[in-house]
C-alpha cells in the first residue's frame, strides 16, 4: 500500500522566516496531495492541496510543489507568523475511481514560530 514519509518531525523558525516541510510517497498512482494544519485540541483543517497534473500551487504565504518523477511534494510557508505554529500533515490519495480513494498521512511536523 501507499507509504508517506514526512520530514522534519519538528521545525522551529523565527517569525518572518520561511518554513519548508517535505513529504515523499511510494505509490505513483496517487494523484491528490492535501496539506492539513492541526492546532492543539482542534480538528485538521485543509490549508492547500495539489493534484498530480499541476507542479506548483500558491495561496498567499503558502505554496506547495510536486515532483511526480521523484514522488516528492513540499509545503512552503513564507513570512511565518506565531499563529502558523501547529502540526502540519501531508497526505497522498489514490483516485476513488480505482476503488482506492483513501488518504495516507505523514506522521506530522510540529512547527513552532518564535516571536
Binding footprint of other proteins on the chain (CB under 8 A): 1, 31-32, 34, 36, 42-46, 49, 51, 89, 91, 93-97, 99-108
Q: How far is the CB of 43 from other proteins (least distance, A)?
A: 4
Determine whether 110 is exposed, middle or buried from the number of CB atoms within 10 Å of its CB (0-12, 13-18, 19+): middle
- How many helices (H) and strands (E) the chain has is answered by 0, 11
In the complex with other proteins, which residue's Cβ is closer, 17 or 107?
A: 107
DSSP 17: S
Q: How far is the CB of 49 from other proteins (least distance, A)?
A: 6
Task: Single out the residue of 43, 34, 12, 39 nearest to residue 90, CA to CA.
Answer: 34
In the complex with other proteins, which residue's Cβ is closer, 14 or 53?
A: 53
Grid cell for residue 1: 500500500
In the complex with other proteins, which residue's Cβ is closer, 1 or 115?
A: 1
Q: How far apart are CA 6 and CA 115, in angstroms?
A: 25
Q: How far is the CB of 94 from other proteins (least distance, A)?
A: 8
Q: How far is the CB of 58 from other proteins (least distance, A)?
A: 17
In the complex with other proteins, which residue's Cβ is closer, 35 or 77?
A: 35
Amino acid at each position: 500500500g501507499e507509504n508517506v514519509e514526512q520530514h522534519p518531525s519538528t521545525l522551529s523558525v523565527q517569525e518572518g522566516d520561511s518554513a519548508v516541510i517535505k513529504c515523499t510517497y511510494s505509490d505513483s498512482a496517487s494523484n491528490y496531495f492535501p496539506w492539513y494544519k492541526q492546532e492543539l485540541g482542534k480538528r485538521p483543517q485543509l490549508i492547500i492541496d495539489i493534484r498530480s497534473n499541476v507542479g506548483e500551487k500558491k495561496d498567499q504565504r503558502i505554496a506547495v510543489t510536486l515532483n511526480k518523477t521523484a514522488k516528492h511534494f513540499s509545503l512552503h510557508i513564507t513570512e511565518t507568523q506565531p499563529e502558523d505554529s501547529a502540526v502540519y500533515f501531508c497526505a497522498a490519495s489514490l483516485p476513488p475511481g480505482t476503488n482506492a480513494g483513501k488518504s495516507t498521512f505523514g506522521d506530522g511536523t510540529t512547527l513552532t514560530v518564535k516571536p
